[in-house]
Amino acid sequence: MAGRGRAVSGAWCWAALGVLLVGVSGCGRDPAPTDSRTAAVQRLLDRRAAAVLDGDSAAYRATGGADPYLLLDLAAVPLDSWAYELTRLDGSGSRISATAELRYRVEGYDKAPVVAERTLTLRQRDGRWRVVGDEPAGKSGQQLWEQGKVTAVKGAHSLVLGVGQQRSVLRSYAALADDAVPAVTDAWGERWARRVVVLVPKSLDGMGGLLGAPASGYQGIAAVTTGEAGGSGSAPADRVIINPEAYGVLGTFGKQVVLTHETAHVATRAVTSAATPLWLSEGYADWTGYRGTDRSAGQAAPELQRAVREGSPPTALPEDADFGFSGDSGRLARAYESGWLACRMIAERWGEAKLNAFYTAVGGHKERAGAVEDALRGVLGIDEADFLARWRSYVRSELG
C-alpha cells in the first residue's frame, strides 16, 4: 500500500509494505534434474546464510562473487538470524536466475523474520553453483546495507542504523527516539513492543531505494514508517525511515514531533487495518506527536486556520485521496490538520481512553464501510452526523 505523508512543515507518513510469497517451482527437461538442481542451489544459499551469520568472509566468497562487501557493510547490524528460501528457478544451462526470500531478524527487535524478495543470478562451473548476482526482486526495496557500510547506535528504546551519516547525528536521532517511545506509551499504553528501529540512508535517493519507489515521490517528506498493517504480536518490527534531507532541516521540536508521530504508527500497527481511514491513523499519530506540547491549535494547524478565517472551513473529514503527497501541499496539510483536530476533540470531550478505544474499534471492523459509524455509536455513543457537526463546530471555535 502506498505511503502517506506531508511536507516537513509538520507531517509525516506511514506505509504498509506487503510481502509477495512465491511458490517453489523449477525449470528443466525432466523432474529429476530439476529437483537435483533445486536442492543444490538451496544448499548453496544455506552455506551463504551461515557465512553471513558467522561473519566468515572466506566461506562467503566461496559461495559467489556477488556483494563482496556485504559482511563488512553488515558488521554493525546485530543479526539474530539470516536465511534464504528458494522459491523459483528459471533458465537452463550453466547460468540461471532464481527468486528467493531473504529472511532475517535483528536481535532484540524482530519477533519474526523480515522477509525481502531477492533475484539471484547463478553460474555453474566445475559442477558447482555460485551466486554472481543478488538484487531486490521486482519492485522490492533495497536493504540498508546495500547502500554502504552501516553504522549502528543503540539507545534505551531504539536502534538507529545509518549509512553515510556521522555517528553524532545518529546518536541525536536515538535520543529523540528514546523520548518518543515513552511519550507514545503514555498515550497509547503498553500494548506494543515499546522499542523502535530507525533507518537513516545517506540521501533522499537512498530513501527511495529502501522503499522501492522513485525518490521524487518523497521529496519534502521527513519520515515514513514501514510495517505490516494489522500485524500480530509475532510480526517483525516496523522500520521508521528518515529522509535525511527533509528531516535534517527541522528544528529539535519538529524532529521530536515527527519521530513521535512515526513511533505512534509503530505502536498502533497491530490494530490499524484496511477499515481505518487515513484521517484517523494520521490524525491519531499527529495527536500523539503534539500531545503534551505547548503548541496551540493555530500553531499546529496553520493551513486549516487560514481556510477558516477566509470563510472556507471544512465541511467533511478528509478522504484517503486527500493525503496523497504528490499534489497540492496546502490540501495535504489541511487533511492532516483536520484529522488531528478530530482526534484532539475526542480526547478532550470523551477522554484519551475513549480515543484509544475508538481507534481500536474502527480497526477491528471487518471492512471500511460502517467502521467509523459503528465505532462512534459503540464507543462514543453518537452517530456520524452528530460527530461531524461537533467537529465542524470545534474547528471553527479553535481556529476562528
Helix (H) or strand (E) holding 168: helix 167-188
- Mean local confidence (pLDDT), 195-214: 96
User: Count of CB atoms within 10 A of residue 370's CB?
Assistant: 13
User: Count of CB atoms within 10 A of residue 299's CB?
Assistant: 12
The whole-angstrom separation of Cα 22 and Cα 122 is 19
> What pLDDT was estimated at residue 56?
97
Q: What is the pLDDT of residues 13-70, one digit of tens each?
A: 333 332 222 222 333 333 334 589 999 999 999 999 999 999 999 999 999 988 999 9
> What pLDDT was estimated at residue 32?
38
Q: Which domains does the chain have, with CATH numbers?
A: 31-146 (3.10.450.50), 273-400 (no CATH)
Residue 343 has pLDDT above 70, yes or no: yes
Q: Which pTM value belongs to this model? A: 0.89
Q: How does DSSP assign 305-360, residue by residue? A: HHHHHTT---SSPPPGGGG-TTS-HHHHHHHHHHHHHHHHHHHHHT-HHHHHHHHH
- In angstroms, what CA-CA distances link 247 with 8, 149, 243? 7, 21, 6
Contacts of residue 284, Cβ cutoff 8 Å, sequence gap at least 6: 264, 268, 339, 343, 355, 359
User: Count of CB atoms within 10 A of residue 162's CB?
Assistant: 26
- Mean local confidence (pLDDT), 71-90: 97
Read off the pLDDT band of 217 (50, 70, 90).
confident
> What pLDDT was estimated at residue 220?
84
Residue 184 has pLDDT above 80, yes or no: yes
Read off the pLDDT band of 233 (50, 70, 90).
low
Provide, rounded to the nearest whole percent, the portion of the chain with pLDDT above 70: 90
> What pLDDT was estimated at residue 349?
98
Q: What is the pLDDT of residues 255-311, one digit of tens each?
A: 999 999 999 999 999 999 999 999 999 999 999 999 999 999 999 999 999 999 999
154, β-bridge pairs = 159
Q: Is there a contact between 119 and 135 (Cβ–Cβ < 8 Å)?
A: yes
> What pLDDT was estimated at residue 181?
98
Total count of residues recorded for the chain: 400
Amino acid (1-letter code) at residue 84: Y
Q: Is there a contact between 317 and 339 (Cβ–Cβ < 8 Å)?
A: yes
Residue 161 has pLDDT above 50, yes or no: yes
Q: How many CA atoms lie within 13 A of 219 on its CB side?
A: 7
Give, as one character, the DSSP assignment of residue 131: E
Name the phi and psi angles at 280, rounded to 5.
-85, -45
Contacts of residue 71, Cβ cutoff 8 Å, sequence gap at least 6: 51, 52, 55, 56, 57, 60
Contacts of residue 172, Cβ cutoff 8 Å, sequence gap at least 6: none
The whole-angstrom separation of Cα 329 and Cα 268 is 26
**Could you give the angle at the alpha carbon of 149 between the alpha carbons of 148 and 154, nearest 5°?**
130
Range list of β-strands (E), the chain:
13-16, 79-90, 95-106, 114-125, 128-136, 150-154, 158-163, 196-200, 223-227, 239-242
Read off the pLDDT band of 237 (50, 70, 90).
confident
> What pLDDT was estimated at residue 326?
66
- Mean local confidence (pLDDT), 89-110: 96
Residue 229 has pLDDT above 80, yes or no: no
> What pLDDT was estimated at residue 328?
76
- Mean local confidence (pLDDT), 5-13: 38
